[in-house]
Amino acid sequence: MENRGSLVAVFTDHKAAETAIRALAAGGFDIKDLSIVGKGYSVEETVTGFYSTGDRIKFWGAEGAMWGGLWGLFFGGLFLTVPLIGGVVVLGGLATIIAAGIENAIVVGTLGVIGAGLYSLGIPTDSVLKYETAINTDGFLVMAHGSDVALGRAKAILASNKPDHIAFHSGVPTALTSPLVA
């Protein structure tokens, strides 16, 4: 059984994050092995939101076109309001992990709900806190999940899109006890 890890790239610009996720998809990565996380809106003086009709979703606001387009690419995701951060959109495999945690009424210790999802992928707590901070300051996480070989390819693609930070996480649990308590 091969070890599956995660590669996380942090972008401060939504266009760069969107370009990176589309480059990974064009590079042959299965969309189920990709995730993107970021705030669902920016503070502005116009209405911001989304609605769903059937299998389509429509976002509006500062990044509405980006999130709406990516939602279709990922075949769904979730939008949630996180305390101290606000509205966050999570698309891809991480959305499934976070939704399962919320549905199972998992109480999160020192980490927020996004952090708990990242931690469950084997990402160390110190990195999780950095990623939560990046999201809180309007950054975007672009993630690829898979084998070391696949993540090596993903790193080359993501690096060409000039992220602010990029890191590989082996997927091996970082502590004997989880910050999640049932």
Each residue's pLDDT tens digit, 99-140: 776 665 554 555 677 888 888 888 998 999 999 999 989 899
Confidence band, pLDDT 50/70/90 cuts, at residue 166: very high
Can you read off the two tokens belonging to residue 120?
A: 């469950």
Check residue 76 and give its pLDDT.
Answer: 63
Q: Which domain holds residue 43?
A: 5-181
How many structural domains does the chain have? 1
Q: What is the pTM of this model?
A: 0.73
Choice between 54 and 148, residue whose per-residue pLDDT is larger: 148
Q: Please say whether the beta carbons of 146 and 27 come within 8 A.
A: no
Instruction: Identify whether the C-beta of residue 11 lies closer than 8 Å to the C-beta of residue 142.
Output: yes
Nearest Cα residue to 118 out of 130, 128, 106: 128
Helix 14-26 crosses helix 148-159 at what angle (to 10 degrees)? 130
In the chain, what is the greatest distance between 2 CA atoms, to the nearest angstrom?
51
Residue 54 burial (CB count, 10 A): 5
Instruction: Note the pLDDT tens digit of each residue in 41-53.
Output: 544 444 444 444 4
Euclidean distance between CA atoms 122 and 109, whole angstroms: 16
Separation of alpha carbons 140 and 164, rounded Å: 10
Strand partners for 51: 58
Q: What is the average pLDDT score of the chain?
A: 76
- Give the Cα separation of 143 and 96 in Å (integer): 14
Residue 28 in tokens: 């042959």
